[in-house]
Structure 1
Amino acid sequence: MTEVAFHFNALDKISYACRLLRKASRQGARVVVTGSADMLQQLDAALWSFSAADFVAHSLATDDATVLAASPVLLLESVLEAPHQQVLLQLGDAVPAGFERFERLIEVVTLDEDDRALARQRWKHYASRGYAVQRKDLELKEPS
């Protein structure tokens, strides 16, 4: 069964996702990131520029199938066609279709009240289906 974890109190989804993906890449994890097209475009741009010393190799859904299969980080609106199912990083508003195929699911939630309300709905969805949901509070870990 998929391990579900909510990372609450992220100051910004994009910057938190960049740091999380850098850490996952260093550990050799394969991650699929899902969210809106706009969110994924912002993340793509941020991954190219967030650190002068680090680069997180990643691909978009529009890239060649060979590139997608080789990429450790994929930015996809729909995860149903993902070539690997190790970790799913969810930046969107709704429960992603096909999440149960992944070993781990990480939901990133900001301080925004609308984002938190949508996260509560997703939490209830997972819990009602028998997933043990973990909570990670980022408030003390992120710089102010």
Structure 2
Amino acid sequence: MTEIGFHYNARDKLNYACRLVRKAVNTRGLRVVVVGDARSLDVVDAALWQLSPVDFVAHCRDDAPAHVVARSAVVLSSQGADAASLPHREMLVNLGLEVPAGFERYERMIDIVSDEANDRQVGRSRWRHYADRGYTIQPHDFAKSS
């Protein structure tokens, strides 16, 4: 069963996502899919390109040629796309408002929620979705860690 981490009250969830992805790839050697809306993916894409050469993370969009997707450590996938159709299965990072399609096929998913009211509200719905299906959720509250 997929291990679910729920990271909420993030002041800057896109910056946090970049740090999380960098650590997952460069420290743990994981292959990661990041799901979100187009604007969020643009921000994450630009931020990953701005990492130092030592911290660079190879990444691409989900519509890149199959051989590029297969070789990239990180794939940025549009919200609503079926993340299960991608070759990576280790870690899924959700920046979107919806439960990612195919999340249950991943070893681990991190759902990131900002401290904004609307994002928190839809985040609660996703939490209920996971809990109602029997997933154990590992919470991480940024408000308690500041």
The TM-score with structure 2 as length reference comes to: 0.90
Instruction: Return 5+ residue gaps in structure 2 as ranges.
Output: none
- Paired residue for 1:115? 119
2:90 is the alignment partner of 1:86: yes
2:68 is the alignment partner of 1:64: no
Structure 1: which amino acid aligns with 2:137? V
2:36 is the alignment partner of 1:35: yes
Instruction: Return 5+ residue gaps in structure 1 as ranges.
Output: none
The change in CA–CA distance for 1:125 and 1:12 in structure 2 (over 3 A counts) is same
CA distance in 2, matches of 1:92, 1:43: 13
CA shift, 1:110, in A, is 0.8
CA distance in 2, matches of 1:53, 1:70: 19
2:45 is the alignment partner of 1:44: yes
Structure 1, residues 99-120: CA drift from partner, whole Å, max 9, x if none?
1001111000111011111110
Structure 2: which amino acid aligns with 1:121? S
Structure 1, residues 63-95: CA drift from partner, whole Å, max 9, x if none?
211010011111011213211111000000010
CA distance in 1, matches of 2:35, 2:13: 12
CA distance in 2, matches of 1:121, 1:4: 15
CA distance in 2, matches of 1:29, 1:141: 25
CA distance in 2, matches of 1:12, 1:18: 10
Moved more, 114-123 or 5-14: 5-14
Over aligned residue pairs, what C-alpha RMSD do you find?
1.5
- Paired residue for 2:138? 134
